[in-house]
Structure 1
C-alpha cells in the first residue's frame, strides 16, 4: 500500500532501499502510461526522477507512514492509493483498474495549482459530539438495532437484484457479523433468516469457485481479483455464530475458508499477508486469525489437525508485543515502524484473551491487558472516543474510526469479564455513548456499533432484565 503525499528531494535522499525501488517502479509506470499516441515510442524520452519532481510538485511519496489513514479510508481494494496535497487533503483516490497514471497525477497537480491549499477534501470523519452521560437500557438499544436491521434489509434487496454493468457489490463482513450476532443474541427467527440469505448471496456472487475465498468486490459480472484476509475472517466469525442453526454447513464452509487462506495469501514465518495480491502483512489481521481459530475450536468446528498449530501461531504473535504493551503494526517492520494503532492494540488484546480462555496461561491474559492498557493510557480521549494513532503530524487529523472504537469496546467488555474490574466496563460504556448521535455517519462501519451494543447486552444481561 502506498500513500503519495508530495514529491520531495529530501524524501528521495532519506528513503530506504525499499522506497527507492518503489520509486523506480513508479517512474517505469509513468513512462509506460504516458506515451503520446502521435509520436513513435522510440521518439519519446523517458521521465527522470528530477523531471517528475519538477512537474508534480504537490505530490510527496511516503510508504506506510500513516497506515491508520489507509486502514480507515481504503475501500477494500488493493492497492487503493490516495493522492494527497502537502496540506494532507485528498485530491483523488486511484483504484487498481486505473490505466492512465500520468493523467491522474497531471489532473491532481492542475487541481492543486488552481485551488491552492483548499484543493481536494480534508481527511476527516463525521463530527464528534461532546460525550454526555447516558445510561443504556434495552429500549434504547432496540431502537438502534431496529434502524440497523432496516438498513441491512435494504442492502440485501439491492444485492438480490440482477447484476448490471454499473452495479458494484462489495463484501460487507461488518454487516454480516452484526446480523449473525443479532440473530444469536436476540434469538429472533427473522434475523436468523436474514443472516442466512445474506450469506447465501455473498457465496453466490463473491465466492471464488476455483481457488475458494471471497473476492473483495464485483462490478457487473467481473470480480476484482483481490481478496482481503479480513473478509475471510469476518465470514468465519459469522459462520461460527451461525453454526447453532446449521452446524454441518458451517463446518464445511469454515474448512473451505481455512483452505482458501492457505492457498490465496502469502505466508512468512507462519503469518499471512493482508491481501491476496501482496506480501504485506499486518499484525492485526493475524491476531484476528488466531482468535477465529480459537472461536472455531471452542465450538468444535476446527478441522482435525489444526489445533496443534495454535500454540505455535500464538507464540509467534507474542513477539510483536513490547514490554510497554505497544504492538508492532507490521510484524516484520524495521526500526522506523509506524506508531502503534488502536486496531492493532485491540486485535492483540482480544486474541490473547481468547488464548487465555483456551489454555489458562496467565501470560496471555497479562499481555492482552497490557495491549489494551496501552490504548487506554495513550489513545483514549477525555472528551470521548479512542484515537486510531497518536501521531505528531500537523497535516493529518487525529482519527477516531468507529469500527476500531467498537473493537475497543468488545476488548474492554472481555477484560471486564476476565478481571471483574469495573474500569473496563466504564470505558466501554463511555465510548458507546460517544458515538450514540453520529454512528450512522460512518458508512458501513455503522454496523459495528450494533455489534458493540449487542456485546453490552450480553455483558450486562440487559435482555433478561428487560424480560423480567
Structure 2
C-alpha cells in the first residue's frame, strides 16, 4: 500500500480474493479506488477526501475499500477506469459495476456515498452491471482495404489544430504513434506537433516530457513523467530526425535519454515513473531554486512493457545517430528483461522484491516482441528465438475469436470477462508483421491479418488516436519494405539500411542468401538487384516505393 493511502484512515485492502469474500459475507458493496504513484490528483484526494475522518469512518463502516495501483494492475485499470485517475468505483461483491466517478472532493464523496447506499439498500447486487466493453461482444469484422488508410488521413485533417498543433482542441496528449503515422504521410502536421510538444511539455531543466497539457493551446501541463510516454516520444523524435536530419528533433530525444538514463535508471533497467510532486510546485521553480529543492519521488518498479518501449526507442535513436550511450543502456535493460521477466516465452509484468505481477498481458508481449526484433535489426543480436517464444505464447494463450485478449480469461471481478483492446491488438499485429519479415514464418503474418480484419468493420469509427491501425493495414496490403544486408550489424551498408527514410521498414543484418558486401531490398515478391554501396541501396529502395 502506498504511503498516501496508508495516511488516510481508510482501512484499505489490496486487490485480491479477501475483500471480495468479506463483501459477500457482510453484504456490503466494494469501494474501488484506482490510483497511481505519479498522480497528483490522487494524492490530493487522499489528503482532502479519504483523509477526512468522518468520510473514512463512513467508508470503513458501509463499504469494503480496495486500493489498486493502476500501473501494477492494468487489467483492473482497463475494466474499471472512469475516464482518468483517480477513479472512484462502486462494485457489487461479485465485481459488477454499480456506479463510478473520477476525483471526488469531500462533499461530492458524501453525496455519492449516500446515493450508493440507497441504491444498495433498494436493489442490492441486482443493481450491478457489466460494462459493454467487457460484455463479450466481438468487434465488427471486415476486409482490409486502401480506404482505411485514407480514412485516417481524413481524421488527421478533420481534427488537426491549425493554431496550436496536435489533434483536437481540448486537452493535448502527445500521441507519439499518431505523430509517427503523420511523419510518413502528413509531415507538416507531425513536425508542428513535435515543435509544440518540445515548447510546452519538455522539461528544459532535467529533460524528459510531461504527461499532457490540460488546455488546447498546450497550457497547464500535468507534470508527471511516465516512462512509456517518454520512451514513445524518444522514438517519435528520432524518427522525425530520420526524415529531416534536423537537430530540432534529435536534441529533445538526446536530452530525454539523459533523463531516462539518470533519473529513471534503477541500476539494471528503467523505473516506471516520476510523480509531479506535491502540488506540482517543484516544476514551476526557477532552475536555481530547483537545484536546492527535493525532486519528486520516482516509482522504481520495473515494468516489462515500459522497459521494452524504452529499449525499442533507444535502439531506434542509436540506429540513426551511432550514440553509444543509448545502445549501452538499451542492452542493459534488454538483458534485465530477458533474465528477470521472460520465462519460456511468457512475460512477467513486473518484479519488485518478492512481489510479482501478472504474466501473459498483451501489452507486455507486444512491446517485448517489438524490442527483441529491434535488437536483431539494429545490433544483430541473437534475439529471434526468444521473440518467437514470446509471440507463440501470446498466440496460444491470448489469441481467441480472431483477436487478442488483454490477458488471461481468469481473475476476480470483471477480469474473467474478455477485453480486446484495439491499441494492444494493433501493437501485436505490427510486431508480428516484423517477425514475419525476418523469419518468413507465414503464421505470424496470418495471425496479424486475422487480427486486423477482426476490427476492420468498425474502422470508420476510429479517430486519430489509433492511426496505427491504418499503418498496419497498409503494411498488410502492400507488404513491408525489408532490407537484407549480407554484412554484420555495424557495417557501413547496414547503417545505411537503417537510415533509409521509412521508419516502418525492417532491416536484417547477416541475412542468409545475401552476399557479403551487398544488400537486397524486398517488398513482397518484388526485390532489387544487390546494392554494394549506400548510394546504390538508396536508389534501389526507391524502385520499390508504393505507387
Instruction: Report the counterpart of residue 91 of structure 2 in structure 1.
Output: 85
Distance 1:285 1:75, change over 3 A: farther
Structure 1 residues 24-81: Cα deviation after superposition (integer angstroms, max 9, x where no partner): xx99976853788xxxxxxx77956xx6332225x5445567422426776996x533
Distance 1:27 1:354, change over 3 A: closer
Instruction: Report the counterpart of residue 209 of structure 2 in structure 1.
Output: 214
Instruction: Report the counterpart of residue 386 of structure 1 in structure 2.
Output: 404
1:376 aligns with 2:395: yes
Cα distance in 2, alignment partners of residues 27 and 256 from structure 1: 29
Gaps of at least 5 residues in structure 2 are: 6-13, 24-36, 276-297, 482-522, 525-541
Distance 1:99 1:268, change over 3 A: farther
Cα distance in 2, alignment partners of residues 115 and 149 from structure 1: 48
1:257 aligns with 2:256: yes
Instruction: Report the counterpart of residue 94 of structure 1 in structure 2.
Output: 102
1:367 aligns with 2:365: no
Structure 1 residues 291-343: Cα deviation after superposition (integer angstroms, max 9, x where no partner): 1111111122x545333333322211112344431111013264653232011
User: Given that residues 91 and 108 in structure 1 are in contact (C-alpha distance below 8 angstroms), is that contact kept between their aligned partners in structure 2?
Assistant: no
1:419: Cα distance to partner? 1.1
Cα distance in 1, alignment partners of residues 193 and 205 from structure 2: 21
Aligned residues: 424
Equivalent position to 2:116, from 109, 118, 143: 109
1:283 aligns with 2:286: no
Equivalent position to 1:294, from 312, 315, 319: 315
User: Given that residues 129 and 434 in structure 1 are in contact (C-alpha distance below 8 angstroms), is that contact kept between their aligned partners in structure 2?
Assistant: yes
Distance 1:89 1:47, change over 3 A: closer
State the TM-score, normalizing by the size of structure 1. Answer: 0.76
1:399: Cα distance to partner? 0.8
Cα distance in 1, alignment partners of residues 271 and 304 from structure 2: 9
Partner secondary structure for residue 83 of structure 1: strand
Gaps of at least 5 residues in structure 1 are: 13-21, 37-43, 184-190
User: Given that residues 435 and 444 in structure 2 are in contact (C-alpha distance below 8 angstroms), is that contact kept between their aligned partners in structure 1?
Assistant: yes
Please give the root-mean-square deviation of Cα atoms over the aligned residues, in Å.
4.0
User: Given that residues 213 and 257 in structure 1 are in contact (C-alpha distance below 8 angstroms), is that contact kept between their aligned partners in structure 2?
Assistant: yes
Instruction: Report the counterpart of residue 144 of structure 1 in structure 2.
Output: 148
Distance 1:347 1:101, change over 3 A: farther
User: Given that residues 34 and 101 in structure 1 are in contact (C-alpha distance below 8 angstroms), is that contact kept between their aligned partners in structure 2?
Assistant: no
Structure 1 residues 207-241: Cα deviation after superposition (integer angstroms, max 9, x where no partner): 33333322222224322221222222222222222
Equivalent position to 1:33, from 22, 40, 49: 49
1:177 aligns with 2:185: no
Partner secondary structure for residue 8 of structure 1: helix
Distance 1:175 1:88, change over 3 A: farther
Distance 1:415 1:211, change over 3 A: same
Instruction: Report the counterpart of residue 420 of structure 2 in structure 1.
Output: 400
Cα distance in 2, alignment partners of residues 158 and 309 from structure 1: 38
Cα distance in 2, alignment partners of residues 55 and 369 from structure 1: 50
Equivalent position to 1:415, from 416, 435, 444: 435
Bigger Rg, structure 1 or 2:
2
Distance 1:239 1:466, change over 3 A: closer
1:348: Cα distance to partner? 1.1
User: Given that residues 416 and 425 in structure 1 are in contact (C-alpha distance below 8 angstroms), is that contact kept between their aligned partners in structure 2?
Assistant: yes
Equivalent position to 1:8, from 19, 36, 48: 19
1:287: Cα distance to partner? 0.8
Distance 1:389 1:46, change over 3 A: closer
User: Given that residues 235 and 314 in structure 2 are in contact (C-alpha distance below 8 angstroms), is that contact kept between their aligned partners in structure 1?
Assistant: no
Distance 1:391 1:247, change over 3 A: same
Distance 1:82 1:102, change over 3 A: closer
Instruction: Report the counterpart of residue 453 of structure 1 in structure 2.
Output: 473
Instruction: Report the counterpart of residue 224 of structure 1 in structure 2.
Output: 222
Equivalent position to 1:124, from 133, 140, 157: 133
Partner secondary structure for residue 92 of structure 1: strand
Distance 1:9 1:450, change over 3 A: closer
Partner secondary structure for residue 160 of structure 1: coil
Considering Cα pairs closer than 8 Å and 6+ residues apart, tell me whether 1 or 2 has the greater RCO.
1
Equivalent position to 2:62, from 52, 55, 59: 55
Distance 1:27 1:213, change over 3 A: closer
Structure 1 residues 243-298: Cα deviation after superposition (integer angstroms, max 9, x where no partner): 222342222121122123346x5432332233321514321110111111111111
Partner secondary structure for residue 89 of structure 2: strand
Cα distance in 2, alignment partners of residues 449 and 45 from structure 1: 49
Instruction: Report the counterpart of residue 330 of structure 1 in structure 2.
Output: 350
